[in-house]
Amino acid sequence: MNNNHTLINQDMPKPVTEADYAGRIMIPLDYASAEDARGLLKELAGIPCYMKVGMQLFYAAGPDFVRELKELGYKVFLDLKLHDIPNTVAGGAASITRLGVDMFNVHAAGGGAMLAAAREGMERALSQPGISGSVRPKLIAVTQLTSTSQAVMNGEIGIPGSVEDTVLRYAALAAASGLDGVVASPWEVSALKAAQGRGFITVTPGIRPAGSDKGDQARVMTPREAFAQGTDYVVIGRPITAAAEPRLALESILKDLMSQ
């Protein structure tokens, strides 16, 4: 293992300025093409938010668009939710690390061996010539999707108990496997921080500004409520990306956060 890239388990500084909050807001570029995504980037130019590239755009535009975002100065969360046998995930994690993203994820349901393999693949890539000295990406695990209600989790997925119990169990597995944190709904953040410590990163989808449509999200909070719970990053999609004026929508959210 490359000791220059060991986990750093410490609290993230509290956002103070508008730029601080912008850096904790992840914008999902859920578009069918790079050209469509560039339209939003043009709208939001100059606001230092975190860009999240998921399956739809990555499968359409590929690694080159991730490199483009990095060249533009954005931090990038590659949200592909790796979930496969350990050897395959290790290889995928190594490839993603070489791409230079700032964060990527795996699915905790893959088990401890798979989670550990993801970290090992990442560390192996960081030790390679030409990569050594690169910034270590944050490696996080998906617990339960924010679209998953307890009824769905129990009756369809076949996991008994409450959603929070499952999230906490998966988070403990991720921490034991050496990961930096988890993706979880804002409703579980407080319990996660209590169980794993303030330095365990939480990325929270299911964020909806006051008055917004919940869409297909089952467990939601406003940005202000989520940060009050102690989350590190919030993912805000359609309230910004589907707004008539995305820049004004994001600026309104930042203004509200600065007023708390």
Instruction: Tell me which of 52, 75, 81, 138 is the catalytic residue.
Output: 81
Three-state DSSP class for 149? Answer: coil
CA 202/CA 72 separation, integer angstroms: 25
Cα→Cα distances 14→26, 133, 171, 232, Å: 16, 27, 22, 9
Residue 135 contacts residue 168 (beta carbons within 8 Å) = no
Tokens 């959210």, located at residue: 253
81 carries an active-site annotation = yes
Nearest Cα residue to 75 out of 103, 114, 47, 38? 103
The contacts of residue 55 (CB under 8 Å, 6+ apart) are 79, 80, 81
Helix residue ranges per DSSP H, the chain: 18-23, 34-43, 55-61, 63-71, 86-99, 112-126, 150-152, 163-176, 189-196, 223-229, 238-241, 246-258
Catalytic site residues? 81
